[in-house]
Structure 1
Amino acid sequence: MAKNCDAIDFSDVWVSALDGGSVGLWDRDIVANDIRYSRSWDMILGVDDQGSRCRIEESYSRVHPEDLESVKAAIQDHFDQKTAFYEAEHRIRSQNGCYKWVLSRGKVIKRDDGGKPLRMVGTTIDVTASHELSDKLKMQQCRAQADAERLAVLAQELGERSNELATAQRIARIGNWRWDIPGRCIWFSPEVWHLMGRKPQDSPVSYLQMRSMIHPDDYEKAMAEFYRAVREREQISQEYRIIYPDGSIHNMLTYAEVVVGSDKSVMRLHGTTQDISSYRTIEAALAESEDHYRHMVNLHPQIPWLADPLGNVTEVGPLWFKLTGMTSDETLPEGWTRAVHEEDLPLVHDAWLQSVSTGEALDIEYRLKLQDDRHGWFRARAAARRDRNGRIIRWYGTLEDVTDRRLAEDSRRASERLALRVLRTTGDGVIVCDKGGIIKFINNIAEKLLGISLNCVGSKAGDFFIAGHSYRIGQAIAAVSRGNFNEQFEVFWPPFDAWYEINIYSGDEDIPIFIRDISEKIINRKRLAYAANHDLLTGIFNRNSFFERVRECLVEQRPGNRAALLCLDLDYFKEINDLYGHPVGDQILRQLALRLRSCIRGTDLLARCGGDEFAILQMGVITPNDSIHLAERISVAMKAPFDIDGISLSSTLSMGIAVANVGFSDVDLLYKQADLALYEAKTKSRGSFQAFRPEMQLKSEWTKRMRTDLLAAIGTDQFFLVYQPIMKASDQSIVGVEALLRWHHPDRGIISPTEFIPVAEETGLIIPIGTWALQRACQTARSWPSNIKISVNASIKQFENNNLAGVVRDALTNAGLPPERLKLEVTESVLMTENSVSINTLKEIQNTGVSIILDDFGTGYSSLSYINTFSFDFIKIDKSFISRICRPGDREPIFEAIMGMAQAIRIPVTVEGVETVHQLEYIRGLGCEFVQGYLLAKPMSETDISRVLIYNGGISNYRSDYSESNNSV
């Protein structure tokens, strides 16, 4: 700031440097209250003076009125040393009366001993382009380029003003640099170093340093532009990004021009660099704001519009053009009136002229001709925006489609005209009184409902509603007449044993009273209330009502008394429904509810939770045995068969019990415990009951883990098949093989099928697992002798996707196995469905040549009935029927009956589970054709079964190695 800081001489060199630029310098003498401007500052405003001086009041008069206070405040903050320097972006009036946007920065460079500011210098940059449309940005860049080039020259030529120039550069955030082409080095001014986010250095900048500063994505392009300037000797301007040491990224604008030596070669590049990050941020925010406004305008149902102070419309929302079909040229500034209905045009013209001339807000409705030749009603509203002096700057308005509202109002008026006619013919009783309670109107229905005469018109309503049963009506009429509110209530009318709904409304002049007979509604309401809390089929509590009461009962338990929750499930109910139909099932549920009621006390709660699920809350439980005794009473009650229209049907109940101690109030947990106990009972033996034990929860969690492990096992080669031969009973020669699924868990080893098959069926994972087993078995059997058949089990779940026939065909086709060599084993549960899908699927599979075997025959609900439902090729008798044959002479009458039936209808029989010589001799004596069991052959691996089947030259003459003389294996 050198020595002569009391006056700044804007030298010809400086003036020349800033001539035509967009950066002006100014010097304010705070004591003298004047300010001096550089010629470039005057150029910003279009003034021809060679630098000017004026009073500060005159300078403030150029600032836009809306910005003046903020400018003064920013300067004052700097005077008070609240800010390091003064900075303000505002509008300033140019010589032609138009406003420009400028960015002013300054700093007090001299204060007295008391800190009072004496002198302040700064710059003013024309940033009008930042506030205009983006297509003007290029012009701004050109001006900034020229300014930066002149500032670079100024930095070289005005050595004596270097400090002041450095201050100006720091305020403007512009720096200059010099690139020595022959010397391959670059010199930065201190401000450029600051712009680069680094401390100033006296040494030149190397190319390697430049590469580390410029963003990697911009470096090649930036350097190419510099080289082009050297090559083509052109002035250039370009933008690129700089990476600060802290990782932040800043946008730079650089201008450069070449300096040619005496030998006509390019000696160096001179240039300036300016941090324009703030401009880019403002520009992005402006674009976002414009895009936000545009989306709001496009989506808003109202049409925004603008007008100048004289009332000329200057802008209108796009919805206008869509509705009217007019173009912008046809609409602006006064063409919009051509869309106004000719009958409404004078009103619109006068109203708008009145608003423009007085400045009053506009609010008017009129009709517009729309694009489809319809006329719609619109509400136009507008308000003026004024400057600080109260002058109107612009009108802001909206146009709202109110066609629907106007139509509704027209309809309402028509409805009002109709109302009186309706009152006379409505099904409700109607009485109209004035505010004094005098009856003005009464229709025939009111006369009949209340038993009063039409002659009461003109009388006081209170005189007719004084009896005990009508006193409520009289009181309500009196209350409404005194206050501005409505009354609605229901009242019982003893004279006619009826319920009425009374609605009394407070009007401006009249009090209408509507009376409706709701006797049927009251009855239905009671029915609905009952239905909301009870199961309509059985008349006992439903699930929601039951558990609400359970919560209340648990909270109200008395010390020493506990409660028990019993979950009950009717066994084989689905099978009964499928066989006999839902009407029979419904009757069983009704009779079951009666039996359960007879087993509980009056303090206990009984509910049907849905389907065949019931629940009992037993109160006053002293010991857990009390709940056991209740379960036993229920089991005894279930021993008697249900008599349904002459049909005697027997069933059992599986029950789970959970006891809640005093203070236990978690209903969900109690139900979960009872449900787990029920599941345990059904799993162990249907028709039994189990009390909850903590290990059941552990078992439930184990089942969840099993599901997860099964899901992970699919596709990871954890499943494999073993094969058990099926032999002729007569000579033990192998005629077939059954494929049995096994699972080798990576952590737990071999898991029994009895553990994972139920879980796989429950989750549906048996479908992909079963498909894999079928494909693998067919591929394995392809290499066996042609007379050996392979048996594969199919789960009921595999029938539910209606694609099992296709899966079987694909497995046979892919393996190249003839259909006649495949046997599909199914249990009777496949046939126990409500539709014929499963049977049709079996027939489709059987028609391809595949044999169908009824597995586990005799263990189900009604196996014999399914023999006639479907023509099975084989039946397989469950091992439970021969398990009790332990010694010579033992017999099993049911097994013998099944064998006799099978021989009578000529269905081949396979008996599984043959484990002793006595069992083999017994079934052989009954004429059984085929056997399977550990006595003859255990399940073996794919390799072992293949070795056995191709034994003796590929002919299946394998014999079991048990000794006929041994009594057991």
Structure 2
Amino acid sequence: MTRTAYESERLALAIEGSGTGIWDRNVQTDEIYYSTDWKAMLGFKEDEVSGRMAESYTRVHPDDIAYVKRTIQDHFDRKTPYYEVEHRLRCKDGSYKWVCSRGKVVSRDSEGNPLRMVGTTTDVTSMHEISEQLHNTVQLLTSLTNEVPGLVFQYHLQPDGRGRFSYASAGIEDIYELSPLEVADSVAVLDRLIHPEDLYSYHASLRTSAACLAPWHCEYRVILPRQGLRWRQGDAKPQRLDDGSTLWHGFITDITARKNIEAELHKFATTDFLTQLANRRHFMVQVEAELARLRHDKSRPAAILMIDLDHFKAINDRWGHALGDKALRHFSAVLSNHLRETDVAGRIGGEEFAVMLRAAGFTQAESFAQRLQHHLRNSPLIEDGQHVDMTVSVGISVMNPTDATADDSIFRSDRALYQAKNSGRDRIERA
């Protein structure tokens, strides 16, 4: 066997069983030759397929015929270097197979008109079935994730710190009021939505998760154009990719309702219902925290004031308990108006109150107490056109870093308060 004959036989054997058939078209006569394998691919015997192009086109699926003819014509007109198209062909049993047809004009006349075209047709039905299954699976997963409340996402963080959402469900519209397209290339837009006070911790949590490959969990606030201030919770699992980047799969949910409930419960547990000041327990927690801070930073003292409404029992006896409650609320409002953001006031019990002035000594505390007394004298409670005069006695101490417990400074202030009351009330005494 010659080398040429051997190579031809090897080519024929390679084509046989590959699901590929050969065709050879005479463009001038509109006749076409199909190989035995081409016919067998569609279930036809050797003598069951004619060589007429008109008949050949009848086997092309009606939805594909225009596309097939247009693609062939583009190649005839030299708009494309070769002809390639995927389409459906009808089999002998009436079913359709997906095929990929490839061909090329191998000869033209002197004017460039095509004379002969040779090509192959390959059965790609199984590939299309797999592709369709994958497409259906993707569609199902997309539909499911789009129905999940919140944002289902895939987040990709490059080693240089650039991040993007490689996948974001439709829930991003509610979570961030953005579209998936807006975060597909960069998440820089999120920095403008995350609350400034939470932005650092948000990025720090991602960096920590990436460094340790630990699950990401973060609760943070966002400020959205339509929804305003909302709470978000993010949870995801990271994985390291070969290029050193990190990929998270997770979800972000709206926890605003839960946070509001937590805030209400916290307020209920830490606030005196009548005066809306801190209750005794919460006030003492704040004093204990300040004492711990003072032990590390002795340069910023804190003053403790114990305050008692003078002759409160007489107010109750004369006006009744309902007005006594009004008197407590009136004083609490006056007291609150004199507090700085860093100060804490609480109702310790009955008509007794306490104030902690951070970064304040005796001088600042006395000035505070004097302003409080002055305001009470000039803004009395009015009931049925009558003035209900109130005065307060105040005892002051300064917290020491050597105090064993927070109760020590409270005890000193309470002792000074006792002296103020015994000295005639409406007085201020230092411990």
Could you tell me the TM-score, scaled by structure 2's length? 0.41
User: Which protein has greater RCO, CA pairs closer than 8 Å, 6+ apart?
Assistant: 2
